[in-house]
Structure formats: C-alpha cells, structure tokens
Amino acid sequence: MESTVAQVWTGANRLQQMSLPLPQPGPGGLLLQVTANGICGTDVHFLSKEPTAPLVLGHEIVGRIIAFGPGHERHDADGLPLAEGDRVALFPWLPCGRCRGCHRFGPGATTCTDAFVYGIPPEAIGLEPLAADGSGTGPTLTGGFGRHVDVRPGTYMWRVPDDMHDTIASLLDPLAVAVRTVDVARTPTGTWDEVLTPDSTAVVLGLGAVGLLATIVLRQAGVGTIVAAGGRPSRLAAAHAVGVDVVLDTHGQDTAARRRFVLDLTRGLGADLVIDATNSPAALAEALDLVRRLGTVVEVGNIVPDGTTIAVDPARDVCQRNLRLLGVSFNPPRSYAQGMSLLARHDLPFGRLISRSRPVEDADAALRDLAGDVVKIVLTGS
C-alpha cells in the first residue's frame, strides 16, 4: 500500500510527522490531496492537552480530488459537478442521520449525538473519546494536518472556483462561523429587537479570524457602525483594512474605558449588538456591559471549556434589560454555502487576513507563528 505524510498529535504540545497508509477511497467516499488547511485557535487549544489517542488534527480543509470511491455521486453540496482534479472545501461535520437531532433538525444539523468531525477529538464535542489503543489501527487520515484526507461518504463539500486561491478557500470554515454568528442575530424586519440595520451599532470583541470575518459579514448585512476591539498590531491593522469604522486597542484601554467610549458613541444607550469572538470568558461579562436594553449578545469565542467561570446576575444583566443572549458553536451547511458565495467576491478583502502560509512539514514553525503578531496561518500541501 502507498503511504503519505501527516503531522500526528501524540502528546501535549507535540506533533510527530508520521508515514501513514494511503487508502483507496471507500464506497461513496473520495481521496483528497490537501492543498490548504487553516490553523484554528481550537487546534492550538487541543494541542495543549494530552490526546486520548494519536490523532491528525485540522478541520479547515481544502484539497484536490485524487480519486472517487465506487458510487460517489460526483457533485458538491450545491449540485455542481465534480471531477478528479477539482478542488473542494469540506464541511467538517458528518452527522449520523439516525439520532433524534438529525431526524428533528435535518442531516446537516450539528446537534447530532453520534457525529464524526474531521480533525477534531470526539470528546471536544461531547462524544466518546477515541480508544487509547486506536482500536488497533493507529492514526488515520481524518484531518488536514497532512498531505491527504480520506473523505467519508456523505460529507458535504463545495467546489472551489478556479480563480480562488487555496489559502482564501481555507477561510470557508471560520467564515461559516461568522455567517452563522450574524444569522442568529436576525429577527423579522421591524421587530423591536432587530439589530442588523443601517442605524445600528455593533461591537465585535476579539480580532482573530472569526472576529474579523464577522465584521465583514456585519457590513454585508447592512449594519451601520461597526466597532472592533483587539490587541495585536497586525489584527488591528487588518480591522482597519476590512473596513471597521472604529478599532479599539485593548492594550491601550481597559474595559471601563471601552464602555465609556461605546456609551458616548451611542448617546448613552449601548451597542445594539455585541459579538464576543475572544477565547476569554471574561469578555462575555464585558459584552453584557456594552449592549443596550433590548439588545443582543452573541457568544462565539468560548466553545472549548477550560474551567473558568464568570459572575453574571441573570436579573440585572439579562432579564431586566430584556437582552437576547445567544450561543454559537458550530454551523449548518447553509452557512458554508453562504460563505463560499462571499469568498467568491473579489471586492471583499479576505486576503488581508492571511498572515503566512507554511508547508505542512513545517507545522511546528506555523504553531510558533501563532504565538506572535499574526492573524491567520495556513498549512499548505507544498
């Protein structure tokens, strides 16, 4: 059997380059040669822990189709035809289609209780962890931190346009998060809690990829004024480049100063919408403090628990102010379809978010990059 190379998570803060078997695609599946895989903040979080079993991480997967398995329908999630050599971006969730969540909300729902997710340890989404012995098989090509991915039958995917760079296509997954984050804030037009309007003010806390992409989606949704807060110089510069109206440096302002600024900007009312895209639990408390009465707060930054808690007074912070407090973790295929349509637009500055790309063999160096002043780092197939 042929072999390929992958970076395998084998211990806390340890990736080990391994030679793994390159399988023939199974019935309904396909074999993908990875051309780009963005490194997500959750990947870094996972790597800081001990794995229950060796695993190939990476869920922001773009690749070129090498071979189809028998019976593959050879079209993408939008019905576009697929052929060997085409590039696709994957929806990382593969719901079971059998559980109550799938039956009630559809096969693309991420409420599945028996799902498979590319490049994600199962316990991170509330499922049974991998067996410590790997059930005798060892790590397999289930994530994008390698040269190839063994794509399972039923996986949603979108064909990448010929004029779209691989690194831009790798933004599809975090962009889908941003799309879903804004979508959940929608209400029927004219309702009292409508917040996506030309006269509204939205605040985004956190200027990683999701936060920056959320500002782009907010602008496309028609939000009038967008304020964003972050700390790294490259991310502050990127916020200006993507058209944020006001960029706040969290290193130069404390939470009290940011609150005063937002209140001054909104004539003492507070922001209509606040999105917390940080990975700091304390930022949720700040978000609740920045939003107006009858406003909306969306929490998207804290999806992996680390044992940290914050104090929230449900009466004062939520009920008495009639807030909508919404949580976002993962996203349906529709968010990816919307995201691909946005990525295909040449007037939106998605390239400004890519700080650097490195070959997958240089994954350790890419992880060191992430500790510095960068926005998005992408692993590539060459």
pTM: 0.95
For helices 333-343 and 209-221, give the axis angle rounded to 10 degrees: 80
| Separation between Cα atoms, residue 88 and residue 34, nearest integer Å | 10
pLDDT higher than threshold 90 for residue 138 = no
Section 91-109 average pLDDT: 85
CA distance 17 to 9: 9
Q: Dihedral (C-alpha) 11, 357, 229, 242: value to the nearest 10 degrees? A: -150
What are the pLDDT digits (tens) for 222-265?
A: 999 999 999 999 999 999 999 999 999 999 899 999 999 999 99
pLDDT in tens, 333-369: 999 999 999 999 999 999 999 999 999 999 999 999 9
The distance from CA 249 to its chain's CA centroid, rounded to whole angstroms, is 23
> What phi, psi does 326 have (nearest 5°)?
-120, 140
Find tokens 């316990």 and name the residue: 123
Residue range 279-332, pLDDT digits in tens: 899 999 999 999 999 999 999 998 877 788 899 999 999 999 999 999 998 788
Average pLDDT over all residues of the chain: 93
Q: Count the Cβ atoms, other than its own, within 10 Å of residue 245.
A: 17
Mean pLDDT of 197-207: 97
Cβ-contact 238, 207 below 8 angstroms: yes
CA distance 26 to 68: 8
Residue 382 has pLDDT above 80, yes or no: no
* pLDDT score recorded for residue 132: 61
Dist CA 70 CA 209 (whole Å): 37
The dihedrals phi and psi of 103, each to the nearest 5 degrees, come to -70, -35
Going by pLDDT thresholds of 50, 70 and 90, the confidence category of residue 22 is very high
Task: Identify the pLDDT of residue 97.
Answer: 86
Question: For 188-214, what is the mean pLDDT?
Answer: 96
Asked whether residue 135 carries a pLDDT value surpassing 60, the answer given is no
Contact status, residue 292 vs residue 323, Cβ threshold 8 Å: no
Q: What percent of the chain has pLDDT over 90?
A: 82
What confidence category does residue 11 fall into, taking pLDDT thresholds of 50, 70 and 90?
A: very high
Tokens of 196: 């996506």
Would you give the distance in Å from CA 206 to the centre of its chain? Answer: 14
DSSP track, 49-104: S--SS-B----EEEEEEEEEPTT---B-TTS-B--TT-EEEE--EE--S-SHHHHH
Which pLDDT belongs to residue 114? Answer: 85
The per-residue pLDDT for 134 is 47
Q: 100 falls in which pLDDT band (50, 70, 90)?
A: confident
- At 148-170, the pLDDT tens digits run 999 999 999 999 999 999 999 99
Name, in order, each residue with C-beta under 8 angstroms of 325's C-beta and a sequence gap of 6 or more.
Answer: 288, 296, 297, 299, 318
Inter-CA distances, 218 with 23, 182, 241, 258, 295, Å: 42, 7, 15, 20, 15
* Position 14 confidence tier, pLDDT thresholds 50, 70, 90: very high
Which residues make beta-bridge pairs with 68?
Answer: 30
**More confident position, 137 or 284:** 284
Copy the structure tokens of residue 353: 């978010």
Contacts of range 179-183, beta carbons closer than 8 Å, 24 or more positions apart = 179/217, 179/331, 179/335, 179/338, 179/339, 179/342, 180/328, 180/331, 180/332, 180/335, 181/210, 181/214, 181/217, 181/275, 181/277, 181/298, 181/300, 181/328, 182/214, 182/217, 182/218, 182/221, 183/335
- Min mean pLDDT across 103-107, 307-311, 313-317, 372-376 is at 103-107
Say if residue 109's pLDDT is above 80: no
Q: For residue 137, what pLDDT is reported?
A: 64
- Residues 87-100 have a mean pLDDT of 92
Cβ–Cβ contacts within 10 Å for residue 262, how many?
24
At 289 the three-state DSSP class reads: helix
Give, as one character, the DSSP assignment of residue 156.
Answer: -
